Amino acid sequence: MTITKTHHYSTPRRMARWFVLPALLLTRPAFAQEKAPANAVPNPLPIHTYGHSALGDAFDDIARQKAYLMRGMPKIVFPVTTTSREAQRFFEQGVGQLHGYWYLEAQRSFRKVVALDPQCAMGYWGIAMTRFGDDALVTKTLAPAMRLLDKASARERTWLQSVYAYHAADSKMPERDKTRKANYLRELHSLVDQYPNDIEAKAFLSHALLDWRNAEPKQTRETTDALMKQVLAVNPSHPIHHYRIHLWDSSPDDRKHALDSAGLCGLSGVGIAHLWHMQGHIFSGMRLYRDAVYAQEAAVRVDNHYLMTDRLIPDQIHNYAHNSQWLTENLGYIGRVHDAIELAKNMIELPRHPRYNNINSFGGSAFYGRMRLFDTLYNHELWREAIALNTQGYLEEGKDSRQKAERLQLLAIASFGTGDAIAGAKYLREMETLREEKSENTELEKSIAEARGYRALYSGDIPEAKKQFASAKSIPACRRARVSLAVGDTAEAERLAREVYKQDDNQVERLATLIEVLYRVGKRDEAKGLFERLRKAASDANLEAPLLAKLSPIAQEFGLPTDWRIPAENTEERRKLMAKLGTFRWEPYSAPNLVLQDTAFHKTNLSDYRKQGKPVVVIFYLGNGCEHCMTQLSAFAPLAGEFEKAGVSLLAVNSEGQEGFPKIAPSPNIPSAFPFPALADGSKRSFKAFRAYDDFEKTPLHGLFLIDGAGKVRWQEIRFEPFQDVKFLLAEAKRLLARPLPAAETGAQTEQSL
């Protein structure tokens, strides 16, 4: 049975996405680029190589675990030529995931399409769209589809050839980028013209116009928005709300145009975290911070539910760290400082990886977690919490002098602020030793001056405090207003407090600071009026946090109750929804068990390690014939003793049975040929249980798992090539295992039975 070709649309002729415009304007040479030359369309590899895809290297580093039909996906109608109803459902699921920028799961959905129907060329189009920014990857990904053009409808050929033409455009073409964008947009416009009822053509064209705002011919935002509204007129719940938010997310006045989409974006695909997150862009930009937190917390919880259910490491997926750090920042804005700290701590606790989560590299959870933790502690004067977090290992020293200075400055100020002048002086001296000879680090000098200012302030030396604070030019304005008030410079304190309040009148820190300043300078009526605004802005705030605790006697004088907050009307309703979406923190999943034989045919049961409370690293390797596997095992072997010293056992599992046991040549660094147990799994059941397996091509993958003494997977990598940085893993194992897991949240994931 053949499901849908183009009967859903009125007149066959074109289509869209990040694609192009009308074909009538295509030059002859440009159109010719849509045809893939025969030598650019290789056949599948005749011999499968360890861990690599039979379809070629473009399919190596891609989602390789099975897909399933997921709850909460956008409702999409995009019929393609296929013999499988199930393939059609997965295709439309993948399109919805594309619209939510959920490329990992979109890859899985589209791979499932071609697994169910190998003749469905559009399945490869979907995979290509998940990697649109890489010309080489896209042309290789589309190679199988280009062999199937005769199986596709005319409409589908336009989709396929337009994408191929864009990425295969001659690198020597004059004004290549401008020309190929114009050609691609023409094809998309052509699809919209030919299939006026095809809202997906309009959706993908809208995205292309959004992404390429300066492409010729230029479109106004109003024109693009009108096209998006045509989609919403047919499907009000379409995830094109996501694109409308991006379109207008530039200024408070512009964001008003997308306020309606901000209220509907998450609901257009409740199971896609990024669609919830995008609501927060508009709300945060319009200073509606409580609504922003609601959207961003939904995003984090949806992500955590997905990660913990599908057993992934957080920073492997698009925007996880970005979502979390933005939520942490906005939690601080509304005074939910305990939750802000809890989330920042979780980001610091998460597994790290040299490629995608490094505390010294911008963008990962470790980097963002540290940044937001410091911000929250400073902005809300949480000095006791700072000292406690340092004791618990959350204020990491860092590797460069900048990070070391940041930590020492915070600890010095926190120590002086809690009355521990001895510790404060110690941290200040350590900051001063970071000065490099014959060089002037102006930022370091400003940090030292600020710490000295707090030392003088808390010791009662006001003239010295004023002098040092004047030298600390980089103190944020809101904090500077508070220190100006503390040293008696009330005019400067009022000026700064009013300035930051004018910039943003809905942040708890800024409101609280201005209220305190106004009260201290005798402007009590104005302070009282602002307090009413604070009562609403701080409806979810932690009143015991120092910044708000200082306002308690002021509130009492104004005749307010001890708990002066005004609860928001929908608080309980939102809390219930949050609990349904997922957990606030990411927590590691429970490892499946395995029972396998070693070289002497003795059984090893992984659950025995858990019973003994002993952590173990399980190395899934593919066999003696895999050169990379042998290199990996050779790297682990000399460090086996170091892992044992750290309390971690090593265990290797091969996918070839008894014939696959490692044959590593002895060396002076390796006391025996193989100094840790090796197990055989010719059935590959354990590979499948740990998801170190390509479910589409039915072949095992390299896998590496750190399992703690409670049986929780604390670190993992599953890939077409084995992880080789053994020293990194040893250090990461020590870091992760040194910190016990927090108590499980209510409603957290239960142990899986595999």
Provide the CATH number for the domain around residue 658.
3.40.30.10
Domain presence at residue 622: yes
State yes or no: pLDDT of 662 exceeds 80: no
Higher pLDDT, 116 or 745: 116
Domain presence at residue 566: no
% of the chain surpassing 70 pLDDT: 90
Q: Report helix, strand and coil shares of the chain as percent, to nearest 5.
A: 55, 5, 40
% of the chain surpassing 90 pLDDT: 81
pLDDT digits (tens, 9 = 90+) for 579-633: 999 999 999 999 999 999 887 788 999 999 999 999 999 999 998 889 999 999 9
Domain presence at residue 328: no
β-pair partners for 702? 719
Highest mean pLDDT range out of 423-437, 649-663, 681-695?
A: 681-695
Domain presence at residue 714: yes
What range defines the domain where residue 185 resides? 23-216
State yes or no: pLDDT of 672 exceeds 60: no
pLDDT digits (tens, 9 = 90+) for 355-403: 999 888 788 999 999 999 999 999 999 999 999 999 999 999 988 888 9
Highest mean pLDDT range out of 41-55, 92-106, 670-684?
A: 92-106
Domain presence at residue 5: no
Domain presence at residue 365: no
Of the three residues 170, 188, 216, the one that is the final residue of a domain is 216
pLDDT in the model for residue 6: 35
Per-residue pLDDT band at 486 (split at 50, 70, 90): very high
Of the three residues 216, 239, 267, the one that is the final residue of a domain is 216
Higher pLDDT, 38 or 61: 61
Domain presence at residue 310: no
pLDDT in the model for residue 673: 60
pLDDT digits (tens, 9 = 90+) for 212-267: 988 888 889 999 999 999 999 999 999 999 999 999 999 999 999 999 999 999 99
pLDDT in the model for residue 33: 37
Q: Where are the beta strands (DSSP E) in 232-292?
A: none
Phi then psi dihedrals of residue 590, to 5 deg: -85, 130
Pair of tokens at residue 231: 């989609």
State yes or no: pLDDT of 146 exceeds 50: yes
Of the three residues 199, 216, 233, the one that is the final residue of a domain is 216
34 Cβ partners below 8 Å, 6+ apart? 161, 162, 164, 165
Largest CA distance in the chain: 87
Pair of tokens at residue 527: 């302070």
Tell me how many domains the chain contains.
2
124 Cβ partners below 8 Å, 6+ apart? 110, 114, 141, 142, 144, 145, 148, 160
Burial zone of 267 (CB within 10 Å; 0-12 exposed, 13-18 middle, 19+ buried): middle
pLDDT in the model for residue 442: 87
C-alpha–C-alpha distance, residues 501 and 507, integer Å? 8
Per-residue pLDDT band at 14 (split at 50, 70, 90): very low
pLDDT digits (tens, 9 = 90+) for 69-107: 999 999 999 999 999 999 999 999 999 999 999 999 999
Pair of tokens at residue 384: 């006791």
Pair of tokens at residue 202: 């309009």
Domain presence at residue 546: no
pLDDT in the model for residue 340: 98
User: In the predicted model, what is the mean pLDDT of residues 176-193?
Assistant: 95
